[in-house]
Amino acid sequence: MFTIISIGRLDAPWRAVAEQYITRLGPYLPVRVIEIAEIPFGKNQDVARVKKQEASLLVKYLKPSAHVIVLHPDVKTFNTEKFAGALESWRRKQEIIFIIGGPLGLDESILEHADEKLSLSQLTFTHQMTRAILLEQIYRCVMREKGKYDY
């Protein structure tokens, strides 16, 4: 079982892409998505306080037995082949939880819960794009494992 916990909801076009990959993955790998509403913030608000509030909502979904992978821009990246190998290894665990932060990123307390930290690219993507890209890469890796997808 894979769970993706994400701050923020997807707009219609990104939701369609994400749902397409979830549907394609269905026969091979159950994927659950949990969306947590962004905490509204403005120019004069304390970013750290908003991130802590979001963290308090995220942490409710973390399980001690799960393998937690936090998407973060300042850590190692994988090429698709190495990501496939890592994914195969992670899938041997009981449950995998991917966490995608919102526009402000993630609070340090969530990073401390991570068993792994993963960057999809050295480029910056919106959290909406990130979810779609993550699902596509998971799908690509699962299909590769099944012999149905080439790089």
For the stretch 29-52, pLDDT in tens is 999 999 999 988 887 778 999 999
* Residue 151 maps to a domain: no
**Residue 106 DSSP one-character state:** -
* Residue 24 maps to a domain: yes
The CA–CA distances, whole Å, from 72 to 24, 38, 102 equal 26, 17, 11
The CA–CA distances, whole Å, from 97 to 12, 145, 147, 148, 150 equal 24, 20, 25, 25, 26
pLDDT at res. 149 = 65
Indicate which CATH number applies to the domain containing 102: 3.40.1280.10
pLDDT at res. 79 = 86
Q: Which domain holds residue 56?
A: 2-145
* Residue 124 maps to a domain: yes
- Domain total in the chain: 1
Q: What is the mean pLDDT of the chain?
A: 90
With a cut of 60, say whether residue 151 has pLDDT above it: no
Give counts: helices (H), strands (E), the chain: 5, 5
* Residue 82 maps to a domain: yes
Residue 62 neighbours by CB distance under 10 Å: 15
With a cut of 90, say whether residue 150 has pLDDT above it: no
